[in-house]
């Protein structure tokens, strides 16, 4: 029995998402990624003496959209100051929300496992600047000095705090993945983990199987990808299990995930009682959205991933397989569900377009520029041809790849160029005739009801035609012949 079998893991996540506003939370500086250092700064976001904040209306609207999408109540809220010293925080306090956040008590349902994860709160706060640590190691511990850029200072964030409802790194990954697709669907954020616009801190604790009380938790920072998230949680849980199993006690602390070393390490060298001395920010007014505003946000939100997923599940049938659920999730993450519905109208079976979209198209558009527009009409044309048997699956996949790569391409001309002109039914029928003549015993067995032998004939047809035979037409020919014989 492994150590893992004796322990239960508890994970709660704090996800920070940058909002896609034009300007920062409290000033008119541009909210953009990758600008020259300290060019998007002003008295407010530099914390210059005498400057004052004014809240960005769009940021509040986005926060309310996010809250609504996460099934939260939208409340009267108050900004607070969280006081602590750090060079990338220009006022040496962060304006955030404390005991009266904008969004509380929501939940999301995980798509694959169906588990419900509760959202404790989602609140608005300002981002900090960025420190670069200069020194031999490039890491904070070995740095000689640091350089601070305040372009990111004051960018609006929403922090989404989950309940400690998850039990593994994999579940945490599923949560973040689903959360991300919901956030992107609201239009409030671009959800790019690689650019830091989605950042995750994980609270991890372990307890012995059979006990109820949660163990002491550690907070892991610097989780920049879903892969890091899973690895860090798994590592940290194992570390804590080893401590507890050895009779030790886990210290509550903040730990840093090192992706290269694959381990977490303690961040705070000084034992300081964290006393953030929160108090209501006197420079800002409370937020108090009206019922009408909240209703309007709800009404304008559009279909969110859970609803879109349910619609696809219905298309596929009553009890979709695990791989189909995963395909549905992918299709939603890549916004391809409209294509599937359009396919239905043109007679393309849902399962076929689901498989092609999730397994082919999603992969093909990964990594393309954000502004890339999926050539839905042309992709649909290909799927229609495949469903009619005019393209084999192999051919269809090849054509899809070319269409994605070149949106302007003419599908019919491409098929001709590739020589994927389907053999006619007559040609196919005579080919089947030849094969039957060559394989009488297999034909007998097929006639006597061994349906699986259809595969044998299709394989032969492929071989004889140099891959151009259409499996569907071969099957049809076999079936027609048997029906005729058996009357």
In the complex, least distance from residue 45 CB atom to other proteins, rounded to whole angstroms: 9
Burial grade of 139 (CB within 10 A; 0-12, 13-18, 19 or more): exposed
Task: From 25-33, 97-105, 306-314, 344-352, give the range in contact with Zn ion by CB under 5 A.
Answer: 25-33
Closest CB to Zn ion among 44 and 415? Answer: 44
For residue 9, give both structure tokens.
Answer: 């893991």
**Partner whose footprint covers residue 240, from other proteins, Zn ion, none (CB < 5 to 8 Å by kind):** none
**Partner whose footprint covers residue 288, from other proteins, Zn ion, none (CB < 5 to 8 Å by kind):** other proteins
CB 199 within 8 A of CB 219: no
27 binds Zn ion (CB under 5 A): yes
Secondary element (H or E) of residue 13 = strand 7-18
29 binds Zn ion (CB under 5 A): yes
For residue 176, give both structure tokens.
Answer: 């973040």
Secondary element (H or E) of residue 342 = helix 337-345
In the complex, least distance from residue 129 CB atom to Zn ion, rounded to whole angstroms: 11
Closest CB to other proteins among 269 and 366? Answer: 269
35 binds Zn ion (CB under 5 A): no
In the complex, least distance from residue 16 CB atom to Zn ion, rounded to whole angstroms: 20
Task: From 40-48, 107-115, 194-202, 252-260, give the range in contact with Zn ion by CB under 5 A.
Answer: 40-48
The separation between CA 409 and the C-alpha centre of its own chain, rounded to angstroms, equals 30
Closest CB to Zn ion among 44 and 223? Answer: 44
Closest CB to Zn ion among 56 and 475? Answer: 56
CB 250 within 8 A of CB 216: yes
**Partner whose footprint covers residue 99, from Zn ion, other proteins, none (CB < 5 to 8 Å by kind):** none
In the complex, least distance from residue 156 CB atom to Zn ion, rounded to whole angstroms: 12
CB 393 within 8 A of CB 351: no
42 binds Zn ion (CB under 5 A): yes
Bridge partners for 106 per DSSP: 119
Closest CB to other proteins among 75 and 309? Answer: 75
The separation between CA 142 and the C-alpha centre of its own chain, rounded to angstroms, equals 34
155 binds Zn ion (CB under 5 A): no
In the complex, least distance from residue 150 CB atom to Zn ion, rounded to whole angstroms: 8
In the complex, least distance from residue 105 CB atom to other proteins, rounded to whole angstroms: 22
Closest CB to other proteins among 106 and 129? Answer: 129
Closest CB to other proteins among 42 and 352? Answer: 42
In the complex, least distance from residue 101 CB atom to Zn ion, rounded to whole angstroms: 24
In the complex, least distance from residue 64 CB atom to other proteins, rounded to whole angstroms: 12
**Partner whose footprint covers residue 81, from other proteins, Zn ion, none (CB < 5 to 8 Å by kind):** other proteins
The C-alpha atoms of residue 380 and residue 448 are separated, in whole angstroms, by 39
Give the residue among 266, 255, 271, 258 at the shortest CA–CA distance from 137.
Answer: 258
Long-range contacts of 400-405 (CB under 8 A, 24+ apart): 400/356, 400/360, 400/361, 400/364, 401/360, 401/364, 403/375, 403/378, 403/379, 404/361, 404/364, 404/365, 404/374, 404/375, 404/379, 405/364
Interacting residues toward Zn ion by CB under 5 A: 27, 29, 42, 44-45
């Amino acid at each position: 029995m492994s150590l893992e079998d004796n322990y239960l893991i508890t994970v709660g996540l704090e996800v920070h998402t940058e909002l896609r506003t034009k300007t920062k939370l409290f000033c008119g500086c541009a909210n953009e990624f990758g600008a020259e250092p300290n060019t998007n700064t002003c008295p407010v976001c530099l914390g210059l003496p005498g400057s004052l904040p004014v809240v960005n209306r769009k940021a509040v609207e986005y926060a309310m959209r996010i809250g609504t999408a996460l099934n939260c109540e939208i409340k009267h809220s108050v900004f607070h100051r969280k006081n602590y010293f750090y060079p990338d925080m220009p006022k040496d306090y962060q304006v955030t929300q404390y005991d009266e956040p904008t969004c509380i008590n929501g939940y999301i349902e995980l798509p694959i496992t169906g588990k419900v994860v509760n959202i404790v709160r989602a609140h608005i706060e300002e981002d900090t600047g960025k420190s670069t640590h200069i020194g031999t190691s490039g890491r904070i511990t070995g740095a000689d000095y640091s350089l601070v850029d305040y372009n990111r200072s004051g960018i609006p964030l929403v922090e989404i705090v989950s309940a400690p409802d998850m039990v593994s790194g994999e579940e945490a990954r599923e949560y973040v993945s689903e959360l991300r697709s919901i956030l992107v669907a609201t239009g409030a954020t671009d959800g790019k983990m690689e650019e830091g616009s989605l950042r995750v801190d994980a609270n991890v604790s372990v307890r012995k199987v059979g006990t109820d009380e949660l163990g002491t938790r550690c907070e892991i920072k610097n989780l920049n990808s879903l892969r890091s998230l899973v690895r860090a949680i798994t590592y940290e849980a194992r570390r804590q299990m080893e401590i507890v199993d050895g009779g030790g006690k886990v210290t509550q602390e903040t730990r840093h995930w090192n992706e290269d070393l694959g381990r977490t390490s303690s961040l705070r060298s000084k034992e300081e009682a964290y006393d953030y001395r929160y108090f209501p920010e006197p420079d800002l007014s409370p937020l108090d959205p009206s019922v009408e505003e909240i209703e309007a946000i709800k009404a304008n939100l559009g279909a969110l991933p859970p609803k879109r997923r349910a619609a696809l599940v219905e298309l596929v049938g009553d009890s979709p397989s695990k791989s189909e659920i995963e395909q549905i999730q992918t299709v939603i993450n890549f916004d391809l569900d409209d294509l599937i519905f359009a396919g239905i109208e043109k007679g393309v079976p849902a399962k076929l377009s689901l498989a092609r979209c999730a397994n082919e198209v999603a992969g093909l558009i990964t990594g393309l520029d954000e502004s890339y527009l999926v050539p839905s009409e042309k992709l649909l044309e290909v799927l229609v041809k495949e469903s009619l048997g005019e393209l084999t699956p192999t051919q269809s996949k090849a054509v899809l790849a070319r269409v994605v790569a070149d949106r302007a391409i003419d599908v019919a001309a491409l098929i001709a160029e590739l020589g994927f002109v389907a053999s006619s039914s007559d040609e196919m029928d005579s080919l089947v005739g030849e094969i039957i003549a060559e394989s009488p015993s297999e034909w007998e067995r097929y006639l006597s009801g061994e349906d699986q032998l259809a595969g044998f004939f299709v394989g032969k047809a492929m071989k004889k035609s140099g891959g151009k035979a259409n499996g569907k037409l071969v099957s049809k020919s076999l079936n027609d012949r048997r029906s005729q014989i058996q009357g």
